Chain A
Amino acid sequence: MIQCKTSKAIGGMGHSLKRKEDDRFIQGKGNYVDDIKLPGMLYMDIVRSPYAYAKILKIDSEAAMKVPGVVAVITGKDLAQYNLHWMPTLMSDTQMVLPTDTVMYQAQEVCAVIATSRYAARDGREAVRVEYEKMKPVIDPYKALDPGAPVLRTDKEGKKDNHIWNWKVGDKEKTDKVFETADVVVKQQMHIPRIHVASIETCGCVADYDKVKHHLTMYMTTQAPHAIRTVIALVAGHVGLSEERIRVVSPDIGGGFGGKVPVYPGYVIAIAVSFLVGKPVKWIEDRTENLQADSFARDYHITAEMAGTKDGKILATRFKVLADHGYTDASANPSKFNTGLFSIATGSYDYGTSFMEADAVYTNKPPGGVAYRCSFRVTEAVHAIERITDRFALAVGKDPAELRMQNFIKKEDFPWKSPTGWTYDSGDYHAGLQKAMDAIDYAGLRKEQAEKRKKGELMGIGISTFTEIVGAGPSKDFDILGIKMFDSAEIRVHPTGKAIARFGTKSQGQGHETTYAQIIAEELGIPAENIQIEEGDTDTAPYGLGTYASRSTPTAGAAAAVAARKLRDKARKIAAYLLEVSEDDLEWEPGKFSVKGAPEKSKTIQEIVFASYTNHPQGMEAGFEAVHYYDPPNLTFPSGAYICVVDVDKETGAINVRRFVAIDDCGHIINPMIVQGQVHGGLTQGIAPAMYEELIYDEDGNILNGTLMDYLVPTAVESPKWETGHTVTPSPHHPIGAKGVGESPTVGAPPAIANAIVDALSPYGITHLDIPITPFKVWKALQEKGVK
């Protein structure tokens, strides 16, 4: 199915090249932020609030200053002298760096202790005494909108409630009309729980300000180094940190998943302290700080509705969202998209109208709303549409696979305009679901299920046929803080035919060092192993918006292909000069140009590159370099068909995922092995919210599972055997037809699992369970239905 145009020696697209980066990772030679040690470096630790909402009466640092090694305790009032105590969020809201009077969520930064060693900093932290006056917090997002609810953002002049914004898309009138007259209407309230990316490496930085050169080098865990450089310049330009004096370096990253997009207060405090004292300052979060204070993901309360005919034709959908944003709107969305790309919730189905509305509220919880392995709220959208589709199938008495086949957008109808305004680029949903059904023996499973039901055994089959929307994004709509969401590649080929290529993105484990090399190898015929890939240093890499939301292949991958094609055009000119023929008489095959009809007369790409430095045509620019900034004309729309089989123990509620088949369509595949690895990881991060993960807060705003002891991250032990496969529907507008795959499995897996569990319980009249679906939830639901 996957055809390779290049030889294995060249290693272009479609080859399962081993990951170049793994050599250093498996030998412990990675270089992470915490590996960076600079002479004279100071260490920072952060005192955090035990309360969700309290006034700070007094910060007493006397005892802390007596701890040997402690050099300073920095409070909000100290930062206020430089107007650095507040910072903007990506969504143009505001966030405290350090508070001057009030703390708004548990684990919020209260003050920072600076010391000559990490241990001294921690001891100093323990010695700081803070007096608080506790206040009654607002935790429930629905109660946040009550007229009598305390107004949390008193820092905002004239703010009279906890409402942040209202967002609408679609045709309300037309949709309401369809709902009024439709045969069948189903409605389901659901919560997509607040979860955390829980990357293995926590966040941290080393801020190194050189007082002599007036220059800041910021080593940090960031997925978007260039954007961070610009943000630092915007926030701290007034104290002299202008952009040419800032270098951001993002070294190896131990997992990002969206959690390393935001700017956390710790980074800013470290910069401020280094700027003031002229010494490097290291700050590394511990595990609980990471889990309790860093940006959350999801937390959407959704009311989903579907209207259709009694024979199963979907006619319209309606979605109403209440988004709990915590203390500030620190979502990591493109500026114009309050709810990210939630409007993809119309799904993979062909119908005419939809209406969606969302309201966001402030509560006394940590801020966030990061795109956790998901292109801006697509996980929430896909869960809503795939669950409500199953409910609709149940209501009209149709098999959920059959109902999906009946309603899918047809292959020939692409590009397809969705009721909320997207243009789906390509897809073959029927083929994907059919392949998944064949792989799992769907008919056989349904038969087995019927027999088991007769015996009172609980077995469920769940389907999710999702459409993703990635590769943000076209500059007319997509920007972050005004910077358009293009991305870039710069290729330099050395005289001996080996190359270095630099990108504005930043791998956090995606394998860019291998896949980008393969794209360039595909286009230029230079072996991938001779192409070195570099990212993450703003002094050397071209400007880019970073890696998240499955955007690297759709944007920077495209930039690499286009830049390589510019070089191939130059190579053709040089080859024509060297072979003394016209350019039109040349034929390209990966790695060389030869004369049409005289294949023995040829020049390899290496010979051509050498000539560009030693014998280039007069009038032509010497050297062999190209840069391209790629502005995608549209997003890409990967899709997938997932089927999950579960067995549920009636007495204990225990759930066993027996099988899971995932058929993905991410267009042309660059490296099948890396895609498979991405899918395995993504599916595991999909089973996580479906069955295990949720950040739970009590009514006082205490997090009840703020350690990995209580917050259950699935491991290899919990993971079923993933069975993967592909259909290939290239993106028509992408230079190499690729679509992006990193998030698809995380987005698509949860509803497949939830649908399977609900299917298992459906004989007892259970039609919905909110994720995470734990054995206790299942047991309780069965008890409520009187099942013994």
Chain B
Amino acid sequence: MTTTITKQFHVDHPVEETWANLTDPNKVVVCVPGASLTGQVDDNNYKGEVEMKFGPVKAKYDGLVTFLERDSATKKMKLKGVGTDSKGKGGAEMVMDGVLTEKDGGTDVNVTMEVNISGMLAQFGSRLINDVSNQVIDQFINNFKNQLAGKEVEGNLNAGSLMGGMVKGLFGGSKKA
């Protein structure tokens, strides 16, 4: 089960500063809701874990984060995360492409995320994966902006709001009919 999400956002910080944060594993990983770094293998490979709740299903992934590309000249980066559910219920893979371009003194960030989930989560979450991935990436963007602004980042994916949002979405509560 694979889903691809593309997002663009703007930050009021110079390209070089944004680039530094985006390519520093210690900074970028904490912006991913529920994620933390647990160790470094080498310059490009890091160990980490992600914990997420999809309604009743809680998944904790132990995994490896690899920088496949970090080109500071073109400001292009490619990041791959591979994780296995710690209870053996399945796995997840994520490939993120990021491109930075200068705009009005700030930076336009283009992110494409390809998320593949398998196992229990794919079974249960097939209807939720788009919503959840969108929520994850939105919260990532928010965290990333906050980090650049020197504010605190929210560590956990807010599962309550996630489910609430979905319920609202289902019943049209937050949308116009």
Closest 6 CB pairs of A and B: A50-B119, A50-B90, A702-B122, A704-B126, A130-B88, A698-B1
Residues of A within 8 A of B127 (CB): 710
Q: Is the CB of B126 within 8 A of A126?
A: no
Q: Are A128 and B118 also in contact (CB < 8 A) when A698-B126, A706-B123 are?
A: no
A sample of 8 cross-chain residue pairs with beta-carbon separation below 8 angstroms, ordered by A number, consists of A50-B90, A130-B88, A131-B84, A134-B91, A698-B122, A700-B2, A700-B116, A702-B126
A707 to B123, CA, bound (A): 9
Q: Does B85 have its Cβ within 8 Å of any Cβ on chain A?
A: yes
Residues of chain B having any CB pair with chain A under 8 Å: 1-2, 84-91, 116, 118-120, 122-124, 126-127
Contact with B along A204-228 (1 / 0, CB 8 A): 0000000000000000000000000
Find A51's partner among B1, B90, B126 (CB 8 Å cutoff): B90
Q: Is the CB of A128 within 8 A of B123?
A: no
Residues of B within 8 A of A17 (CB): none
Residues of chain A having any CB pair with chain B under 8 Å: 47, 50-52, 106, 126, 128-132, 134, 292, 698-700, 702-704, 706-707, 710
Q: Is the CB of A702 within 8 A of B118?
A: yes
Q: Is the CB of A128 within 8 A of B1?
A: no
Q: Residue on B with the closest CB to A131?
A: B84
Q: Residue on A with the closest CB to B90?
A: A50
Q: Is the CB of A126 within 8 A of B118?
A: no
A700 to B87, CA, bound (A): 20
Residues of A within 8 A of B85 (CB): 50
Instruction: Give chain B nearest CB distance to A448 CB in angstroms.
Output: 35
A69 to B125, CA, bound (A): 32
- New A-B contacts (8) at CB < 8 Å, excluding given A50-B118, A51-B118, A703-B123: A50-B90, A52-B118, A128-B88, A700-B2, A702-B122, A704-B122, A704-B123, A710-B127
Q: Is the CB of A50 within 8 A of B126?
A: no
Residues of B within 8 A of A52 (CB): 118
Q: Is the CB of B123 within 8 A of A702?
A: yes
Q: Is the CB of A50 within 8 A of B1?
A: no
A327 to B90, CA, bound (A): 20
Q: Is the CB of B88 within 8 A of A47?
A: yes
Q: Is the CB of B89 within 8 A of A50?
A: yes
A429 to B91, CA, bound (A): 56
Most buried by A among B88, B90, B126: B88
Residues of A within 8 A of B119 (CB): 50-51, 106, 702
Q: Is the CB of A134 within 8 A of B118?
A: yes
Q: Is the CB of B88 within 8 A of A700?
A: no
Q: Residue on A with the closest CB to B122?
A: A702
Residues of A within 8 A of B91 (CB): 50-51, 134
Residues of B within 8 A of A128 (CB): 88
A703 to B118, CA, bound (A): 10
Find A700's partner among B1, B84, B89 (CB 8 Å cutoff): B1
Q: Is the CB of B118 within 8 A of A700?
A: yes
A680 to B119, CA, bound (A): 37
A52 to B87, CA, bound (A): 17
Q: Is the CB of B1 within 8 A of A702?
A: yes
Instruction: Give chain A nearest CB distance to B30 CB in angstroms.
Output: 27
Residues of A within 8 A of B1 (CB): 698, 700, 702, 704
Q: Residue on B with the closest CB to A701?
A: B118
Residues of B within 8 A of A710 (CB): 127
Instruction: Give chain B nearest CB distance to A379 CB in angstroms.
Output: 27
Residues of B within 8 A of A134 (CB): 91, 118
A47 to B124, CA, bound (A): 18
Q: Is the CB of A50 within 8 A of B120?
A: yes
A710 to B128, CA, bound (A): 13
Q: Residue on A with the closest CB to B86?
A: A129
Q: Are A50 and B88 also in contact (CB < 8 A) when A698-B1, A702-B1, A703-B123 are?
A: yes
Residues of B within 8 A of A698 (CB): 1, 122, 126
A264 to B100, CA, bound (A): 55
A81 to B123, CA, bound (A): 35
A106 to B120, CA, bound (A): 9
A130 to B88, CA, bound (A): 6
Most buried by A among B84, B91, B118: B118
Residues of B within 8 A of A700 (CB): 1-2, 116, 118, 122
A369 to B154, CA, bound (A): 51
A101 to B63, CA, bound (A): 23
Residues of A within 8 A of B124 (CB): 707
A131 to B126, CA, bound (A): 23
Instruction: Give chain B nearest CB distance to A600 CB in angstroms.
Output: 75
A201 to B155, CA, bound (A): 44
A47 to B89, CA, bound (A): 10
Most buried by B among A134, A702, A703: A702
Residues of A within 8 A of B2 (CB): 699-700
Instruction: Give chain B nearest CB distance to A112 CB in angstroms.
Output: 14
Q: Residue on A with the closest CB to B82?
A: A134
Most buried by B among A47, A52, A128, A698: A698
Instruction: Give chain B nearest CB distance to A312 CB in angstroms.
Output: 46
Instruction: Give chain B nearest CB distance to A706 CB in angstroms.
Output: 5
Q: Residue on A with the closest CB to B127?
A: A710
Q: Residue on B with the closest CB to A292?
A: B123
Instruction: Give chain B nearest CB distance to A111 CB in angstroms.
Output: 11
A710 to B84, CA, bound (A): 25
Instruction: Give chain A nearest CB distance to B52 CB in angstroms.
Output: 16
Find B87's partner among A126, A292, A703, A704 (CB 8 Å cutoff): A126
Q: Residue on B with the closest CB to A698?
A: B1
Residues of B within 8 A of A707 (CB): 123-124
Residues of B within 8 A of A50 (CB): 85, 88-91, 118-120
Instruction: Give chain B nearest CB distance to A106 CB in angstroms.
Output: 7
Residues of B within 8 A of A132 (CB): 84
Residues of A within 8 A of B126 (CB): 698, 702, 704
Q: Residue on B with the closest CB to A51?
A: B118
Residues of A within 8 A of B123 (CB): 292, 702-704, 706-707
Q: Residue on A with the closest CB to B123?
A: A706
A126 to B87, CA, bound (A): 6
Residues of B within 8 A of A131 (CB): 84
A281 to B54, CA, bound (A): 35
Residues of B within 8 A of A126 (CB): 87
Instruction: Give chain B nearest CB distance to A671 CB in angstroms.
Output: 42
Instruction: Give chain A nearest CB distance to B158 CB in angstroms.
Output: 24
Instruction: Give chain B nearest CB distance to A67 CB in angstroms.
Output: 13
